[in-house]
A and B are shown apart, each in its own frame.
Chain A
Amino acid sequence: MTRVTLSALLSHWWRNPLQLFTLLAGLALATALWSGVQAINAEARASYDAAAATLGEGQFDRLKRRDGAPMTQDTYIALRRAGWLVSPVIEGRVDGVRLLGIEPLTAPGGLAPRAFGTVSALAGFSTGDILVAPDTKLARARLVVDAGIAPDTAISDIGTAQDILGRDGEIDLLVIAADQPILQRPLSEIAPELVRQEASTGADIASLTDSFHLNLTAFGLLSFAVGIFIVHGAIGLAFEQRRGTVRTLRALGVPLRLLVVLMGCELMGLAVFAGIMGVGLGYLIAGMLLPDVAATLRGLYGAEVAGTLQLRPIWWISSMAIALGGTALAASGALWRLSRLPLLAGAQPRALALAAGRGAKVQGVVAATLLLVAGGLALAGGGVVAGFTLLAALLIGAALALPLVLAAVLGWASNRAQGVTTSWFWADTKQQLPGLSLALMALLLAMAANIGVSTMVSSFRLTFVGFLDQRLASELYISAETPEQANLIETFSQRNAEAVLPIQKVEIALAGIPTEIYGNRDHATYRDNWQFLSATDTPWDSMHSGTGILINEQLARRGGIAIGDPLDVATSSLKVVGIFGDYGNPIGQAIIDETLFKTMFPEGSPTRFGVRISPENVDDFVAKMAAEIGVPAANTVNQAGIKAFSLGVFDRTFTVTTALNILTLAVAGFAILMSLLTLTSMRVPQLAPAWAMGMTRRQMGLLELVRTVLLALLTGAVALPLGLALAWVLLAVVNVAAFGWRLPMFLFPLDYLWLGGFALLAAAIAALWPAIRLAKTPPSDLLKVFSNER
């Protein structure tokens, strides 16, 4: 009995391969979208974890020279003698690979690679082994591959590294172990030239890259929601289409329980198959996007992400879970309805509009509650968790409210309709709404996500480009290798350019927060280009008079510092006269006058210079400088180059977001297609009377198309404010909570227009096929409605 029943159930797919395809494609697409986003996120995160694990970055405090120059072996020995548990590190680049020299015996646990478990490994390391990640291109002897090492990083003994880098006896920084003896002589006595950088800030790339991942995580969550909607639609389709067969099977004596079990198993089988296809597809998508994602992150934040993809069990599992879990969720509802279906009424089309009546009230109450919660959280604010709760409440509330809003609009329109065709159209549309609402909710979420995320990314880009204009106002930047060369560059530039602006900084702690402090020369370049988030009337005058200080937003927020507050810098107290935006910088930044800087930090000397010169003279200037004072062109950076690079980075970010945007919309379009296909089979009885009364099939097909586009348009009208609210929450609530700075929000009406057009296109394409099928419905099918048979 089981075999006969199963083969009858399965034969449906054999006879309707297209339906099988839509079902599998729906499931696979939902899985692919989710797993693609997951893969990108997981891959990038895994790379950071490897980086953090090998370098101990962010885990330990470190000591560096105030002027950034290397320190000597003597300083290190003096500190160890004074009871400081520190370990030396040297950093450099070889063949494009970051080489890190450490001392395995003094390095605190967690900094040294995990491979040091055995004595022989340690012995090998001490005598010249170089540990590298798999596939690292380094032309050296004695490479040892270790999967725990970050991509493009090599780790060796400090002696080996000093040899390779040609920097005998030099140390770049000292890592301070977490537990220190109580009796220590203070740092200022032993090595006053050293500054202590606190853990989790100095080189903590995680907090920055998280800003980008937030973007992707938000996308992931939304694609999850969209995916669930689609799985639900696909499963509904699978049941709807076989309603007649199921009824016949039951009438012929197949027990209901057997049917439920068989259909459950069948769907799970299909879900497994589609899930695997989806994971594969997601892998392909991620693989295509990942080089861009990696480049984006590397360019933005200097984080190393391996540009390759591994199939990680965790996202295998999570992707299959969404395919199977989503199917189980959707199928259990459908199976439950099936089991309660009266045997004799099974083939009748469901009175969808009627069924929606009571549910609508409950749905309305839930939606209103969620939106109220979202409003409350937006006003109360605070915390990343609250931010994400706000996001969830907002999105789910809006999705639930959508069908009610649409029903209200359609009801209003049908009341005002004049002609017979128009009023039939509105009434018919309203009747179709319950069947389409799942797909429309998916479309709403997809569009809102696109608007929200692209607003966020575009705002980020605009802010950042403005910020670059401000920061890179000079036409040319020159790096100096030594203080002597710095002097040469300064005098040469004074003679050959309009102005030269030395860039000098030291790292200190202000209000207990690690900060880079700069000494700026008074010049129109700064006065004209810089914009403050808040400032006194004359920030530049106060600062250059030596009484004021300018600080970045991060320092102001973390230190709770406001305009007018006094701030202790080295020996004197300065008044905060301006706060500027400093996007993407993890640590504090402050600016004081050049003269004051030199008296406070006499050991510092400028390492870079900004040169004001008309752009067409840049090349001549660089050539002449190389010839006269021997500074190679390699030490100069053309501002245009930096900006182009930064914009290039953003363009890659856009490639990723755009690709995900298109994918989400395509998937939402697919949901519409499936819903329409489900509906058309049930709609013949509704359409037949209209046809019999003189409407042509062509007309009905056309109206079908118009209807779908119209519903998509109305959905878009709801999606726009929702997407903007989403962007606002991401920029003004979540980002501040997570990273300490608020991104200004900009609006991009043209982008939204494009997006809307694209969504309408997706909806129209999705509706096209069902519309054509409708226009070609054989008259005999329509006639059957009037005869006894169905």
Chain B
Amino acid sequence: MLLAARNVQKKFDTADGEFHVLRGVDIALDSGETLALTGESGSGKSTLLHLIGGLDVPDQGEIVIDGTDIAALDDNGRAAVRRGVVGVVFQQFNLIPSIRIKDNIAFQARLAGRYDEAWARTLAERLGLVDQLNKYPEQLSGGQQQRVAIARTLAPRPRLVLADEPTGNLDEDTAATVISILLALVDETQAGLLMVTHSTALAGRMARRMHLRVGQIA
């Protein structure tokens, strides 16, 4: 089992008291498997993805990736997981504005110490970014930036790919193409993919599907 999350709970402190976003979520995912996560806006999809990605810690429950409970890790441990084990395609891209596209693509792979130039080149070609490599993020359209974010995430060949609405900024046709590429690439690397999406069409292309409602899997 690549990912096994059990009874994950998360609360936020807000001005009007505690806000219970996740009330005991269970997820299981194998290598090479794809899973769509749907749910209405504000249901906690991004929050769950952040917890699995080691960006935040759950209040309760365990998140075991490759045999390690990342909820029990310290700051450094989680940083190492983010670097080497999981890759996140963020809803807001989070590119580094001051470096070129080619360096953005290579960045996480270099951090993880697994930079493979040929693979990075392949990613850029498949995602249609070859002409953009020497530009800076601000010079790219939203859809192009999103593809850069995908390339960056896949460059270190992470065991687990998390994607938060990776096609939210794309038109339907482009979105379909990008998802095809993403699925193909994940398949090639035998990674697990957990993708948040609003689109039922896209969700239908994934092997499994989960719906999040009032903080629980429906």
Contact = CB atoms under 8 A, between A and B. Distances in A.
Q: Do these two chains really belong together in a complex?
A: yes
Interface stretch (B110-118, B124-132, B178-186, B200-208): B110-118
B96 A11 contact: yes
A253 B168 CA distance: 24
Q: Which of B50, B81, B98 has the most CB of A within 10 A?
A: B98
Contact of A248 (B56, B75, B95, B112): B95
B92 interface: yes
Interface in A752-790: 788-790
B9 interface: no
Nearest to A250: B79
Given A252-B83, A253-B80, A253-B83, A247 B94 contact: yes
B91 interface: yes
Q: Which of B83, B111, B113 has the most CB of A within 10 A?
A: B111
A343 interface: yes
Given A8-B107, A344-B55, A789-B142, A253 B112 contact: yes
A252 B91 contact: no
Contacts of B167: none
Interface in B168-204: 168
B50 A344 contact: yes
Nearest to A4: B110
A253 B84 contact: yes
B140 interface: no
A16 B98 contact: yes
Interface string A1-17: 10011011001101110
A698 to B, nearest CB: 24
Given A253-B84, A255-B79, A790-B92, A12 B98 contact: yes
Q: Which of A8, A251, A252, A343 has the most CB of B within 10 A?
A: A252
B82 A252 contact: yes
A254 interface: yes
B131 to A, nearest CB: 21
Contact of A255 (B75, B99, B108): B75
Interface in B73-89: 75-76, 79-84, 88
A8 B50 contact: no
A248 B98 CA distance: 12
Contact of B99 (A1, A11, A16, A250): A11
A257 interface: yes
A344 B95 CA distance: 15
A225 to B, nearest CB: 34
Nearest to B138: A15
A343 B136 CA distance: 24
Nearest to A259: B79
A344 B48 CA distance: 13
B82 A5 contact: no
Contacts of B76: 255-257
Contact of A1 (B82, B88, B97, B111): B111
Nearest to A242: B98
* Chain A interface size, under 10 / 10 to 19 / 20 to 34 / 35 or more: 20 to 34
A681 to B, nearest CB: 12
Given A4-B107, A4-B111, A344-B50, A253 B81 contact: yes
A253 B82 contact: yes
A229 to B, nearest CB: 28
Contacts of B81: 253
A208 interface: no
Contacts of A16: 98
Nearest to A1: B111
A11 B96 CA distance: 9
B98 A252 contact: no
Contacts of A4: 107, 110-111
A789 B97 contact: no
Given A15-B136, A256-B75, A790-B92, A343 B56 contact: yes
Contacts of B107: 4, 8, 252
Interface string B13-57: 000000000000000000000000000000000000010000110
Nearest to B108: A252
Contacts of B82: 251-253
A241 to B, nearest CB: 10
Contacts of B88: 251
B14 to A, nearest CB: 13
A244 interface: yes
A300 interface: no
Contacts of B56: 343-344
A4 B155 CA distance: 15
A253 to B, nearest CB: 3
Contacts of B75: 255-257
B91 A1 contact: no
Q: Which of A7, A247, A250, A255 has the most CB of B within 10 A?
A: A255
A789 B91 CA distance: 8
A1 B99 CA distance: 16
A507 to B, nearest CB: 74
A343 B55 contact: yes
A245 interface: yes
A249 B111 CA distance: 10
B79 A256 contact: yes
A247 B97 CA distance: 12
Interface string A613-653: 00000000000000000000000000000000000000000
Contacts of A12: 97-98
Nearest to B84: A253
Contacts of A248: 94-96
Nearest to B90: A251
Nearest to B106: A4
Contacts of B90: 251
Interface in A3-57: 4-5, 7-8, 11-12, 14-16
Interface in B139-183: 142, 168
A244 B98 contact: no
Q: Which of A7, A247, A253, A343 has the most CB of B within 10 A?
A: A253
A150 to B, nearest CB: 56
Given A5-B111, A344-B56, A244 B97 contact: yes
Contacts of A15: 97-98, 136
Contacts of B136: 15
Nearest to B113: A1
Nearest to B93: A789
Nearest to B94: A248
A251 B96 contact: no
Contacts of A14: 98
A9 to B, nearest CB: 9
A1 B81 CA distance: 14
A182 to B, nearest CB: 79
Contacts of B113: 1
A8 B107 CA distance: 9
A17 to B, nearest CB: 11
Contacts of A5: 111
Nearest to B82: A253
Nearest to A255: B79
Contacts of B95: 248
Nearest to A14: B98
Contacts of A257: 75-76
B208 to A, nearest CB: 26
A256 B113 CA distance: 18
B11 to A, nearest CB: 14
19 contacts: A4-B107, A4-B110, A7-B99, A8-B96, A8-B99, A14-B98, A15-B98, A244-B97, A248-B94, A248-B96, A250-B79, A251-B88, A255-B76, A255-B79, A257-B75, A788-B92, A789-B92, A789-B93, A790-B92
Given A8-B107, A11-B103, A251-B55, 14 more contacts: A1-B83, A1-B111, A1-B113, A245-B97, A251-B82, A251-B94, A252-B82, A252-B94, A253-B83, A253-B112, A254-B111, A256-B75, A788-B91, A788-B168
Interface of B: 50, 55-56, 75-76, 79-84, 88, 90-99, 103, 107-108, 110-113, 136, 142, 168
Across the A-B interface, the 8 shortest Cβ-Cβ residue pairs: A253-B83, A253-B82, A15-B98, A11-B98, A255-B79, A4-B110, A12-B98, A248-B94
